[in-house]
């Protein structure tokens, strides 16, 4: 049997970085490489009805080995990595029996992960850590989840004495760009409820998340020779700057935590003639979320009064909503996961996601889907790492969920 860490190290060799600009499904063809590899592996360990859709969704079934009718549970993880940081040529480092000191990721480039800034490292003394070499992300988000699910399925096929009902498995593309549920066939998947393995540290259990939207602010200017520009030129970059100053300066990611929402400027490009700013908008509270969108439109209207009716355009698209509304009526599925963690000696850390998962959208598509830890930390950058022991615990939790569903 392959160990969970062995699988993880195999999967991160494949660059599956998604691309929000491609307009394709999946957004990058490399995701098909991993999808086909995973499908073959699922078939080899004994799952049935293994398929890879034309959009690269992998689905499979582990048949029930009990005679009674019990709920069908699913486990889901995503294959892509963040477009925010390179995932090409990942060169992982394995630190056995971590001693609690600063971790030198890349001596040649003087890239260090200091304990003074990453205090969570203190929780992993004595464990085996997998880190980056400081030049790429690691891909624990969410290839750790994939490795954990497949390892758990293999254990179930090798140990028929473990009773379980029908289990569904799915691996999705393009979660990182908000498209992971776009072509997910809930009816074909056939689960009564599911869990995403897409959380961070050991014990995390999440069934609340941000309401989310993307926004594009386009500012049109007017270019005139600067020597003769008085009362004629409109510098779009200066209008864009004013737009930014009219947003609450403390409601940004680096100044918020917990249930606090934010506006996040993700990119800006401009000239005198035209400036484009891209944002994401986040808030756990639906009413506050709607007010954030209204504020951007109000600013647009005010700046258009000052600069001309076509000077500023704001386009906002909702991405996903807080799954809490859909999970509360079936809260027992959260209780099952929490009990499974306690069975494994883990005290659940129930918190709201300061982000989203495929499960958020799937919950609104009729598949209630809380989120469970996969064990990684510091996602989307060079300081990402994961504990092998946390991955092994995630496998144990999956198996305990399966057992508790049988007893439900």
Active site amino acids = 80, 175
The token duo for 320 is: 């996903």
Q: Which residue is it, tokens 């929000």?
A: 20
DSSP state of 327: H
Distance CA 194, CA 91 (A): 33
Distance CA 217, CA 219 (A): 7
Task: Tell me how many degrees the CA angle 63-204-341 measures, rounded to the nearest 5.
Answer: 55
Distance CA 242, CA 65 (A): 64
Distance CA 313, CA 381 (A): 32
The distance in angstroms from the start CA to the end CA of the chain is: 29
Distance CA 207, CA 197 (A): 12
Burial class (CB in 10 A: 0-12, 13-18, 19+), 49: middle
DSSP 125-174: TTS-EEE--SSS---HHHHHHHHHHHHHHHHHHH-TTS----EEEEEES-
SS3 assignment, position 48 = strand
Residue 322 phi, psi (nearest 5): -65, 120
Count other C-beta atoms under 10 Å from residue 57's C-beta.
Answer: 26
Distance CA 195, CA 205 (A): 10
Separation of CA 189 from chain center: 20
SS3 assignment, position 54 = coil
Return all residues near 338 (Cβ < 8 A) that are at least 6 apart. Answer: 205, 348, 350
Return all residues near 248 (Cβ < 8 A) that are at least 6 apart. Answer: 263
SS (H, E, C) 382-405: CCCEEEHHHHHHHHHHHHHHHHHH
Return all residues near 286 (Cβ < 8 A) that are at least 6 apart. Answer: 211, 321, 322
């Amino acid at each position: 049997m392959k160990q969970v860490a062995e699988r993880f190290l195999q999967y991160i060799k494949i660059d599956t970085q998604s691309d929000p600009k491609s307009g394709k499904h999946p957004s990058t063809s490399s995701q098909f490489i991993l999808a086909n590899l995973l499908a073959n592996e699922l078939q080899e360990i004994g799952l049935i009805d293994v398929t890879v859709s034309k959009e690269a969704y992998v689905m499979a079934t582990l048949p029930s080995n009990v005679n009674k009718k019990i709920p069908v549970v699913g486990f889901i993880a995503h294959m892509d990595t963040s477009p925010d940081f390179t995932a090409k040529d990942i060169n992982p480092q394995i630190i056995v029996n971590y001693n609690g000191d600063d971790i030198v990721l890349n001596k040649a480039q003087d890239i260090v992960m200091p304990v003074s800034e990453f205090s969570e490292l203190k929780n992993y003394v004595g464990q085996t850590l997998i880190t980056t070499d400081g030049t790429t992300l690691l891909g624990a988000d969410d290839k750790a989840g994939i490795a954990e699910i497949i390892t758990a399925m293999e254990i179930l096929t090798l140990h028929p004495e473990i009773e379980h009902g029908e289990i569904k498995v799915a691996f999705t593309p393009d979660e990182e760009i908000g498209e992971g549920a776009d072509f997910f066939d809930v009816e074909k998947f056939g689960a009564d409820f599911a869990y995403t393995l897409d959380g961070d540290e050991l014990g995390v259990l999440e069934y609340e998340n941000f309401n989310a939207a993307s926004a594009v602010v386009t500012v049109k200017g007017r270019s005139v020779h600067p020597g003769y520009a008085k009362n004629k030129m409109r510098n779009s970059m200066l209008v864009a700057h004013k737009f930014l100053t009219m947003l609450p300066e403390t409601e940004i990611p680096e100044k918020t935590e917990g249930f606090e929402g934010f506006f996040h400027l993700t990119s800006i490009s401009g000239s005198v003639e035209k400036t484009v700013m891209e944002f994401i908008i986040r808030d756990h509270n639906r009413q506050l979320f709607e007010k954030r969108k209204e504020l951007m439109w109000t600013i647009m209207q005010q700046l258009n009064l000052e600069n001309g009716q076509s000077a500023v355009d704001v386009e906002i698209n909702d991405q996903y909503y807080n799954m809490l509304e859909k999970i509360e009526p079936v809260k027992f599925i959260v209780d099952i996961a929490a009990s499974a963690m306690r069975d494994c000696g883990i005290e659940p850390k129930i918190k709201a996601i300061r982000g989203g998962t495929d499960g958020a959208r799937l919950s609104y598509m009729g598949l209630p889907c809380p989120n469970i830890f996969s064990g990684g930390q510091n996602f989307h950058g060079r300081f990402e790492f994961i504990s092998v022991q946390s991955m092994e615990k995630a496998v144990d939790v999956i198996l305990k969920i399966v057992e508790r569903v049988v007893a439900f």
